[in-house]
């Protein structure tokens, strides 16, 4: 098969399975331990519980988990703004790309409309630690992940979604740069 034949092919919608209906679940009490002790699942629970316990100081009025919606959660701020939430245990280039695609899919597939909210203009990736080369120390005694993320964000952003990162450490300290 020639390359031209490959790129001329049309994608048959029947090849793509129908997605489940997205669900918005308000978190009003601490989440239980996940069935698995995998670090990423335990961290996701920790993040939701941290936000719930610190709603007032964080300026959050409502905390939501999302199901079949391409991203982990949604925060409603005291200002009324909705912020998409993606939780990554170890953030590096691959997980960062994954989170950006998850946010972009949420917007482009109009999932916000299917759960009856306005289109979010902000998104937050909460992570526990940087991985691989993003964990190395860079200028000003900061890990390179901070520079790498915001450098990429400056040229990838189309201003339709304002994406930031914040670190929730094991000591439950929220770090931003």
pLDDT at residue 14 is higher than 80:
no
Q: What mean pLDDT comes out for the span 135-148? A: 91
pTM: 0.91
Residue 92 lies inside a defined structural domain of this protein: yes
**Is residue 77 included in any domain, yes or no?**
yes
Asked whether residue 150 is domain-assigned, the answer is yes
The pLDDT confidence band at residue 146, using thresholds 50, 70 and 90, is very high
Is residue 36 a part of any domain in this protein?
Answer: no
Percent of the chain at pLDDT > 90 equals 78
Residue from 73, 80, 81, 62 nearest 126 by CA: 73
Give long-range contacts, CB 8 A cutoff, 24+ apart: 40-45.
Answer: 40/88, 40/89, 43/87, 43/89, 43/128, 43/168, 44/72, 44/87, 44/89
Give residue 82's Cα distance to chain centre.
13
**How many angstroms from the chain centroid is the CA of residue 104?**
10
Is residue 15 a part of any domain in this protein?
Answer: no
CATH number of the domain within which 162 lies: 3.40.1350
What's the total number of domains in the chain? 1
- Residue 175 pLDDT exceeds 90: no
Q: Look at residue 141 and tell me whether its pLDDT is greater than 90.
A: no
Task: Examine residue 171 and state whether it is found in any structural domain, yes or no.
Answer: yes
Sign of CA dihedral 154, 106, 60, 39: negative
In-domain check, residue 98: yes
For residue 69, is pLDDT > 90? yes
Residue 85 has pLDDT above 80, yes or no: yes
Determine what percent of the chain is predicted with pLDDT higher than 70.
99
pLDDT recorded at residue 172: 83
Q: What is the structure's pLDDT at 133?
A: 93
In whole angstroms, what is the distance from residue 139 CA to residue 61 CA?
A: 36
* CA-atom Rg of the chain in angstroms: 18
Residue 109 falls inside a structural domain: yes
Domain with 103 in it? 42-175
Q: What mean pLDDT, rounded, does the chain reach?
A: 92
Selection from 154, 108, 146 nearest residue 125 by Cα = 146
Above 90 in pLDDT, residue 1?
A: no
Do 161 and 107 meet the contact criterion of CB atoms below 8 Å apart? yes
Sheet holding 162-168, edge to edge: 23-26, 60-67, 73-77, 82-91, 122-130, 162-168, 174-175
Mean pLDDT of 101-106: 95
């Amino acid at each position: 098969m020639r390359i031209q034949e490959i790129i001329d092919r049309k994608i048959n919608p029947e090849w793509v399975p129908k997605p489940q209906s997205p669900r918005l679940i308000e978190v009003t009490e601490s989440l239980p331990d996940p069935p698995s002790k995998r670090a990423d699942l335990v961290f996701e629970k920790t993040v939701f519980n941290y936000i719930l316990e610190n709603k007032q100081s964080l300026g959050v009025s409502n905390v939501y988990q999302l199901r079949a919606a391409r991203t982990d959660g949604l925060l409603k701020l005291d200002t009324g703004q909705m912020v998409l939430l993606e939780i990554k245990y170890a953030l590096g280039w691959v997980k960062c790309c994954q989170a950006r695609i998850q946010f972009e899919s949420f917007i482009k597939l109009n999932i916000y409309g299917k759960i009856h909210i306005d289109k979010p203009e902000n998104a937050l990736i909460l992570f526990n630690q940087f991985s691989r080369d993003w964990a190395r120390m860079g200028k000003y005694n900061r890990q390179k992940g901070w520079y790498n993320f915001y450098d990429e964000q400056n040229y990838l952003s189309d201003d339709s979604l304002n994406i930031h990162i914040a670190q929730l450490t094991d000591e439950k300290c929220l770090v931003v740069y």
